[in-house]
Amino acid sequence: MNFAELKGTDERLKCMDSLKEDFSERANRNNDSGEFPFQNFDDLKRTGYTALTVSQEYGGKEISLYELVRLQEKIAEGDGSTALGIGWHMGIIKNLSEKRLWDESLFQFLCEEVKKGAIINAAATEPGTGSPTRGGKPQTTAEKQGQTWTINGRKTFTTLAPVLDFFIVTATLKESEEIANFLIPRSASGLRIEETWDSISMRGTGSHDLILENVIVEDQFLVEKLGKSGQRANGWLLHIPACYLGIAQAAQSHAIKFSQSYSPNSIDGSIIDLPNVRQKIGEIELELMRSRHFLYSVAKLWDESDENKRNGLLPELGAVKHAVTNSAIKAVDLAMRVVGARSLSAKSPLQRYYRDVRAGLHNPPMDDMTINLLAQHAIQVQKK
Ligand SMILES: Cc1cc2nc3c(=O)[nH]c(=O)nc-3n(C[C@H](O)[C@H](O)[C@H](O)COP(=O)(O)OP(=O)(O)OC[C@H]3O[C@@H](n4cnc5c(N)ncnc54)[C@H](O)[C@@H]3O)c2cc1C
């Protein structure tokens, strides 16, 4: 099975359906042991999934945002941690393919590496800044010495740390106080991972600390200076709501299967026929259906727009993340109410969905920032 050889979205979605089953089987076991889901990542690489967003110019499929969110949603139905983790990688490559922010030869080099199975993610969060979306200045520093940069600092929440081949590290340039992104290979001397990830949510993301001690990189690995062009619209971040929608859909599916088979002796048949149960299943469906339509339509809007129009989609992109993530939390809660106390059993996948889905609140953009942006947008529209 190779994703790149399949024709179109439908075939690739079908292919992901079968991988999803494997991820789902492994999810509880990995979650209990706290192990990183290495096997899932081997599968994603082996099947060519991890190269699907590479640009066509460099031999990739450059799949649409719509297709990406559909595929990511399916991965999350099997295992939320795997979906969030690979979503960063897929999205970063998609974003670079679309915006060409880096020197072209370096980008081409990265594409070749990704086609060989390399995995990348951004390490932006730090203990002293909190979420980088709040505008904090990195305490990680980069100092120029001749034609090289020396980088020192600590990053937290470095998702996929156990399998990353490349890290995009934000740092403050000592000489100018500007903020820049550096591309750093795992093999760089002075780079190490400290296994700090003890979260009860998204346990399998391996979001450990990245330590940089006198890491030296060539000048060309300063790939991008940040902060000059204002806030950019980032369609690729829709992999985040897709992840939480997928988790909620898995919760819905579990609740329905449970209700079809659970038959206490106070009733004839199973609880699926009870009005109180059907009410909740209907409410879950309302949340999920609304989320799917909102997510897919904004992803398609992104795909159909030119760069100029895409920048105008900032309010929509934030609104989708806010709406879908909060709906997913509500849907998982309702699914647990359908199942009752058994949903709290350590053996039930619902308690994992419950913990995992909460992480969405702490992925960007944050809810309060989105609401603020929407208020600004509404006021501006009114003025016109
Ligand atoms: C599962 C998971 C995976 C992640 N993966 C990555 C990754 O791969 N790479 C990466 O770089 N990061 C990653 N992150 C980190 C993420 O992007 C956030 O930086 C992190 O979750 C911290 O966000 P926060 O809102 O809790 O933190 P903080 O910004 O510290 O905020 C804590 C609280 O303080 C308040 N607050 C703080 N500052 C302000 C302010 N200026 N204005 C208003 N309120 C404020 C808010 O109410 C907030 O709730 C990941 C996070 C999670 C949960």
3-state secondary structure 276-324: HHHHHHHHHHHHHHHHHHHHHHHHHHHHHCCHHHHHCCHHHHHHHHHHH
Best residue among 89, 121, 134 to mutate for probing ligand 1, ranked by most atoms within 8 Å of CB: 134
What is the distance in A from the centroid of ligand 1 to the CA of 40?
26
Q: Within 6 Å (CB) of ligand 1, which residues are found? A: 84, 88, 121-125, 130-131, 134, 157-159, 202, 205, 207, 359, 362-364, 366
CA distance 194 to 161: 9
State in Å: Cα 99 to ligand 1 middle: 25
Give the Cα separation of 366 and 377 in Å (integer).
17
What CATH number does the domain located at 122-226 have? 2.40.110.10
Other CB atoms within 10 Å distance of the CB of residue 2? 11
- What whole-number distance in Å separates Cα of residue 14 and Cα of residue 10? 6
CA 8 to chain centre: 22
The alpha carbon of 80 is separated from its chain's Cα centroid by a whole number of angstroms, namely 9
- Give the number of the atom of ligand 1 that is nearest the alpha carbon of residue 364: 17
User: How do the pLDDT tens digits run along the chain, 384 residues long?
Assistant: 899 899 899 999 999 999 999 999 999 888 888 899 999 999 999 999 999 999 999 999 999 999 999 999 999 999 999 999 999 999 999 999 999 999 999 999 999 999 999 999 999 999 999 899 998 999 999 999 999 999 999 999 999 999 999 999 999 999 999 999 999 999 999 999 999 999 999 999 999 999 999 999 999 999 999 976 567 899 999 999 999 999 999 999 999 999 999 999 999 999 999 999 999 999 999 999 999 999 999 999 999 999 999 999 999 999 999 999 999 999 999 999 999 999 999 999 999 999 999 999 999 999 999 999 999 999 999 887
* Residue 131 Cα: closest atom of ligand 1: 19
How much distance in Å is there from the Cα of 244 to the middle of ligand 1?
A: 17
Closest Cα to atom 18 of ligand 1: 131
Instruction: For residue 85, give the ligand 1 atom closest to its CA.
Output: 8
DSSP symbol at 100? -
Collapse the DSSP code of 86 into the 3-class scheme (helix H, G, I; strand E, B; otherwise coil) and give the result.
Answer: helix
Using DSSP bridges, classify how beta strands 191-194 and 179-185 pair: parallel, antiparallel or unpaired: unpaired
User: How far does residue 127's CA lie from ligand 1's centre (Å)?
Assistant: 10
The residues spanned by each domain of the chain are: 3-117, 122-226, 235-383
CATH topology of domain 235-383: Butyryl-CoA Dehydrogenase, subunit A; domain 3 (1.20.140)
Class assignment of domain 3-117?
A: mainly alpha
β partners of residue 166: 120, 185
Burial (CB < 10 A; 0-12, 13-18, 19+), residue 208, is: buried
